[in-house]
């Protein structure tokens, strides 16, 4: 490995670790942006420099986080950031077959790996917050109560929040927390993989041709994983919460399949820009639209609407 590539990989790891540490301080909006972009340098190293430099960057970043924080934080960083970055970029660059008939690793399977890591992160985060429902509830209620007493009272015209309302907010937060953790981890992984891919493509260092993302498919096993995870959410207790953390990223994955179907079906339509803009804005503002897209993605995975009506391929 050339020295300059090795040094770039080391630098990419250090940059990711520093951004990760910086995401714990400053204004909330800045902290969110930094958290979302924490893995970007690792994805750039993996896609632009190669598999081994990507591994070096991931190891360097994890080691640096451990040195500037503690081993537990480094473990969380490795599971949520470093390992997903290495695995996703590794599979993105995998291919087989001769040069003129090269087959690249399917995007859908890469998305499945991203969903598995996101679910693992959500479960780990919930377990660390509290090993049982009572501990989690107590921790969340304390956070809500502290916010009401310290922050809400500073807002002019804010309504009075009593103990009953605090209990209700706590229950609502507890039920949505696993979904929020899983969706955030999944979105962070896919956003950084896409952004690093576009940057690497623009630089001319991306060895894989840019895929038609609207055509990506989820493997059949992902459907079963989603149904099992959603089914387990109804068991209640900590098992139900952990299962929700896994169901969330798989739900987002199928929502992206549904979104891809809309992209394909609206190609050539004069209303395409309006339809897609409305859909993106609506999915951000109205969660039910995302669930509808996930149902569409499930139906597409089973019935393959995108290829309906296409002539069969010619015999080989």
Q: Looking up tokens 């859908």, which residue turns up?
A: 108
Handedness of CA 4, 9, 14, 20 (dihedral sign): positive
- The pLDDT assigned to 137 comes to 85
Q: pLDDT tens digits, residue range 294-309?
A: 999 999 988 887 766 5
| CA atoms of 54 and 20, how far apart (whole Å) | 17
Q: What is the pLDDT of residues 6-38, one digit of tens each?
A: 999 999 999 999 988 887 776 667 777 778 888
In this prediction, residue 153 carries a pLDDT of 62
Can you give the pLDDT at residue 158? 62
Q: Name the stretches of the chain with pLDDT < 70.
A: 26-28, 151-160, 307-316
Return the residue matching tokens 């098992």: 239
According to the model, what pLDDT value does residue 316 have? 42
What is the structure's pLDDT at 292?
92
- Sequence length of the chain is 316
């Amino acid at each position: 490995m050339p020295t300059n590539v090795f040094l770039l990989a080391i630098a990419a790891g250090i940059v990711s670790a520093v951004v990760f540490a910086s995401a714990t301080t400053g204004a909330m909006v800045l902290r969110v942006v930094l958290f979302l972009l924490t893995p970007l340098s690792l994805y750039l190293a993996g896609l632009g420099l190669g598999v081994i430099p990507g591994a070096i960057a991931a190891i360097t970043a994890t080691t640096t986080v451990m040195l500037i924080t503690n081993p537990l934080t480094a473990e969380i960083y490795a599971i949520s950031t470093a390992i997903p970055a290495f695995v996703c970029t590794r599979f993105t660059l995998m291919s087989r077959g001769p040069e003129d008939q090269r087959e690249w690793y399917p995007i859908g399977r890469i998305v499945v790996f991203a969903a598995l890591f996101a679910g693992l992160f959500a479960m780990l985060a919930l377990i660390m917050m509290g090993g049982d429902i009572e501990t989690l509830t107590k921790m969340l209620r304390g956070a809500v109560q502290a916010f009401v007493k310290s922050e809400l009272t500073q807002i002019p015209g804010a309504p009075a929040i009593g103990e009953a309302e605090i209990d209700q907010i706590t229950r609502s937060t507890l039920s949505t927390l696993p979904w929020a953790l899983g969706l955030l981890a999944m979105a962070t992984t896919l956003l950084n993989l896409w952004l690093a891919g576009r940057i690497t493509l623009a630089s001319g260092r991306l060895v894989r041709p840019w895929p038609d993302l609207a055509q990506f498919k989820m493997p059949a096993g992902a459907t079963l994983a989603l149904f099992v995870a959603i089914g387990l959410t109804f068991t209640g207790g900590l098992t139900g919460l952990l299962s929700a953390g896994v169901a969330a990223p798989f739900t987002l994955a199928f929502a992206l399949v549904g979104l891809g179907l809309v992209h394909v079906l609206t190609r050539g339509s004069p209303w395409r820009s309006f339809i897609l803009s409305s859909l993106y804005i609506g999915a951000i503002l109205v969660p039910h639209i995302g669930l509808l897209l996930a149902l569409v993605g499930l139906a597409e995975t089973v019935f393959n609407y995108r290829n309906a009506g296409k002539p069969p391929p010619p015999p080989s």
